[in-house]
Amino acid sequence: MILSDRDIVQALESGRIKITPQPDLERCLGSCSIDFRLGNTFMVFEHSRFSYIDPRQPQSIGDAMRTITVPDGEAFIMQAGDFALASTLESLELPDDLLGRLEGRSSIARLGITVHSTAAVFEPGWVGTATMELSNLGRMAVALYPGMRICSFTFEQLSSPAKVPYRYKRGNKYAGQIDPKPSRLAEEIAMALEEEK
């Protein structure tokens, strides 16, 4: 079951869902979603430093990216065909029986900007900002401003609370993040190889 606007407000008021800073419900609340805003921190690939990324090598991933902090009022320019990681301004805390789903906003999508590649699900027990995988699929550069509404979240009720919520899951890689983080796939691969021994 997807939560309605009434359910979202009730969950916020009761503290089941925590969003920090508190959203302006007048502007951000939809009939079954709530908008989140773009944060100030972006991570971009430095194409000239590496010819490829090896997901088995953690330094390959982290070293291939550069962090950019954009001051309020200034723009981050997404060139056509570009990809960047960015975080939401808001932090989200989910209870053990709700799943969050990050979705794009139509107004942004009509400019060619997508906010996630495949990572739309935020598991029960999630705590932290949301990292978005921004892409510009259009043919023109687009200016993105910190603080603008960039994505929306919907929430789905689970049939029962998760036995192991994300924040307690062994090997969770992104819980508690406050800025975008590069892929930690190398850790996952190393853990799987270690378990095979």
Q: Is 13 a catalytic residue?
A: no
Is 94 strand, coil or helix?
coil
Q: Considering 133, 188, 194, 196, which one is annotated as catalytic? A: 133
User: Among 149, 148, 133, 135, which Cα is nearest to 181's?
Assistant: 133
Looking at residue 45, its pLDDT comes to 85
pTM: 0.87
Listing DSSP states for 7-58 in one string gives HHHHHHHHTSSEEESPP-HHHHB-SS-EEEEEEEEEEEE-TTT-S---TT-H
Q: Which residue has the tokens 């892409």?
A: 135
Q: If residue 158 lies in a helix (H) or strand (E), which one and from where to where?
A: none
What is the Rg, in whole angstroms, of the alpha carbon atoms belonging to the chain? 18
Measure Cα distances from 53 to 1, 45, 132, 179, 188 in Å. 39, 10, 20, 22, 16
CA distance 20 to 129: 9
Please tell me the predicted confidence (pLDDT) of residue 132. 96
Classify domain 5-160 by CATH number.
2.70.40.10
Full pLDDT tens readout for the chain, 197 residues = 999 999 999 999 999 999 999 999 999 999 999 999 999 999 998 876 777 777 777 666 667 888 999 999 999 999 999 999 999 999 999 999 999 999 999 999 999 999 998 879 999 999 999 999 999 999 999 999 999 999 999 999 999 999 987 776 766 666 666 667 666 566 666 666 667 76
